Chain A
Amino acid sequence: GESVGLHLPTLSVQEGDNSIINCAYSNSASDYFIWYKQESGKGPQFIIDIRSNMDKRQGQRVTVLLNKTVKHLSLQIAATQPGDSAVYFCAEKMAGTALIFGKGTTLSVSS
C-alpha cells in the first residue's frame, strides 16, 4: 500500500485564514519530502521541500514542518487566498527509490 497519506481529504477555509495541511508517512528511512500543488487539469507544481536533517523550512507564505519522531509532515499556508484552492500532495523519497505520493487534500478557499 501507500506509505504516504494525508489526514483529511478536504479542507475548507476563509480567505485570509491560515491553512494547515497534514501528512503522515510510514517509512522512517525517507529522507526527502516535497509538497506539491495541483490545480484542475494541470500537473503537480512544486511548492516546498525539506530534507530529513531539518525540521522546518519556510518559503513565501508557506512553511513545512517535519516531525521525524511521529513521522508527520505539515504544510502551513499563511493568509490563504482563493488562488490557493487546489489539491495538495505530500510526497516522500529516499535515495535509490522513486518519489511516492499520498492521496491528496483538496483545499477550498472561500472569499
Chain B
Amino acid sequence: ETGVTQSPTHLIKTRGQQVTLRCSSQSGHNTVSWYQQALGQGPQFIFQYYREEENGRGNFPPRFSGLQFPNYSSELNVNALELDDSALYLCASSSGGSANTGELFFGEGSRLTVL
C-alpha cells in the first residue's frame, strides 16, 4: 500500500474536451510528480509540484497544467484533448522536490480514453 490515491480510476472523454485528474500524496510527502504512460511504454515525466509551485516540466505542451494545494494534493488538467492523450496518468509522491534523490511512490493511475 503506497498511500498515494488517484481519481478517477477510469474515464472517457471526446476530442476537444477538458479533463481534471486528482491525486492525494502519501502522508508526509510534499512533492507530487505526474507521468503519462502510453500503452506499452514507460512513464513519461509531465511535471512536478513542490510546495505548491511547478518544480520541473517535461516535454509536454501548455495545455497540460497542474496545481498543488496546501495539503500537498494535486491536480492535473488537460485542455483541448487529443486522441494521443489516451494513456494511463500516474501520480507519484516524494519529499524534497527535484533536488532530492529518493524513492517515488506511485498511485494506481487514472486511465484516460479520448474518443
Interface bracket on B: 20 to 34
Q: Number of contacts between A and B (CB, 8 Å)?
A: 60
- What B residues does A83 contact at CB under 8 A? none
Q: Which residues of A contact B (CB under 8 A)?
A: 2, 31-32, 34, 36, 41-46, 49, 51, 89, 91, 93-104
Interface contact A43-B101, CB-CB below 8 Å:
no
Q: What residues on B are CB-neighbors of A94 within 8 Å?
A: 101
Contact with A along B50-62 (1 / 0, CB 8 A): 0000001010000
Which B residues have a C-beta under 8 Å from some C-beta of A?
2, 4, 33, 35, 41-45, 48, 56, 58, 90, 92, 98-109
Residue from A97, A99, A101 with most neighbouring chain B CB atoms (10 Å): A99
Q: 17 other contacts beyond A97-B56, A99-B33, with CB at 8 A cut-off?
A: A31-B101, A32-B102, A43-B2, A43-B4, A43-B107, A44-B43, A44-B90, A44-B106, A95-B98, A95-B101, A96-B99, A98-B33, A99-B45, A99-B92, A100-B45, A101-B43, A101-B44
